[in-house]
Amino acid sequence: MSWRWRAGWKLGFRVFQGAFQGRTKFLLSSALAMALGLMPLVVVFSIADGMIEGIMARTLEVAVYHLQVWPFSSLTPPSALELQNMRQRLDASYPGAHAWPERDGFALAFTEHARTGVDIRGVDPTWIKDPGVRRYLTAQKGTLNFPDAHSIWLGDEIAHKLGVQPGDQIKLLTSQMNNGTPTIPRITTLTVRALVSIGYQELDKLWVFVPYETAVQLLPGPQTPTYWGVKIPDPYHHLDQATQALGVAAGNNYIVAPWTQLAKSQLLNYQTTRALLALITALILLVASVNISTSMVTLVLERQGEIAILKATGTPPSIITWQFLSLGMLSGLLASVAGIVVGSALALNINNLISGIDDVVSFFQGNGKSFHLLNNNYYLTTIPVRLHTSVLLLMGFGTVLLATFAAWFPARRASRLRPLEVLRKV
């Protein structure tokens, strides 16, 4: 079998070489069509993972923590001593664990000219020192500290909406809802210390940060209990062990939830979107592989005379089969290389490309408004790109396999060609 494969390969390789010398150009066209089909697949896989990782990492480090410890019931906020004891227990429960108390709720933020609903996050002042937080939460303006209890950091988008800068004052309208008593509105004036961003604009237009103690004042009711956010050195492994250890440390009145539960729907949503995108682009590739098949059929028709003479001079049909399979394989290989190289280049420059498209369209719109291809509200400010060599190799291998498979039918047809039928026509 091996020499027949080599012989078939040699025959196929020469025909393929001929395509670069102006003969059987349609072979190159079909390989190009397949490369064009592969490019979006490469881009999707390169940016989808990065986007999911980017959004999830931000979510983990700045929003949901690695684990959360919630009380089953909490009528009153814990005292300073209770907080200190709990922090010590949780920190000691798992190697490298750090716990911070947090108290969240809703408020209406307003100035004289504007107002907007916000999500208050009452965070421990030491929370900002966590490396994960510092990596993703950045001060666009001002400094990330709370010099006094009336300090507030605003999400970039909120600050833009309210038209405030660091040093300005805003008011927060909160409500205290006690069981059986009327809702009591409360207005608190706070000084803006920083405009912050986590690079994910959907959250930047939602969050304001206040010191934990201030949040206790603003949100005293049982509807907004204090919970604990915990971070561990490796949130992607040994999460079960950490969950168990924290559960023991927290005691029976608390429940521990890992990030895989807290952000499960979000993660599944992204993964499903990626899978759908991959499926659609894979379908494009599949359709493109039909071109290979069509080219091979054309080639078989064009080369009938040569196939006939090869068979008439005793070439075994298997060599003819290998010849056309190798042509499919080579076309697939060319498509793989071109698709992966260009697709990777596109992926690596995706941010520049989108920005360029935005600029060009904005210029031609001529109305002074800036055009955004992607809605910034739902995307990262920059798309992270992750090129995984193993995934690229797998896609390349899949493309070669697909092209070879596409060549199978024409190859069989060529090998079964009866020489006499061709020779009679000449």
Sites of contact with another protein (CB under 8 A)? 3, 7, 11, 14-15, 17-18, 23, 305-306, 308-317, 319, 418-420, 423, 426
Q: Please, how many CA atoms are within 13 Å of residue 175, restricted to the half-sphere of its CB?
A: 11
Give least dist CB 360 to another protein, A: 45
Give least dist CB 296 to another protein, A: 16
Q: Which residue has the tokens 């303006």?
A: 141
**Based on CB atoms, which residue is closest to another protein, 282 or 422?**
422
| Alpha-carbon 90 to chain mean position | 32
**Based on CB atoms, which residue is closest to another protein, 318 or 362?**
318
**Based on CB atoms, which residue is closest to another protein, 15 or 219?**
15
| Alpha-carbon 266 to chain mean position | 11
Q: Which residue has the tokens 């070489």?
A: 17
**Based on CB atoms, which residue is closest to another protein, 104 or 306?**
306
**Based on CB atoms, which residue is closest to another protein, 283 or 312?**
312
Give least dist CB 319 to another protein, A: 6
**Based on CB atoms, which residue is closest to another protein, 388 or 416?**
416
DSSP-assigned beta bridge partners for residue 151: 191
Quick one: which H or E segment has residue 173?
Answer: strand 169-176
Sort strands 151-155 and 207-211 into parallel, antiparallel or unpaired: antiparallel
Give least dist CB 315 to another protein, A: 5
Burial of 330 per CB tally in 10 Å (0-12, 13-18, 19+) = buried
Give every CB contact of residue 170 below 8 A, 6+ residues apart in sequence: 109, 110, 111, 152, 154, 162, 164, 189, 190, 192
Encoded tokens for 157: 């988008």
One-letter identity of residue 380: L
**Based on CB atoms, which residue is closest to another protein, 113 or 425?**
425
Give least dist CB 399 to another protein, A: 25
Give least dist CB 305 to another protein, A: 5
> Does residue 200 contact residue 380 with C-beta atoms inside 8 Å?
yes
Encoded tokens for 2: 């091996």
- Give the residue among 350, 321, 328 at the shortest CA–CA distance from 407: 328
Give least dist CB 4 to another protein, A: 8
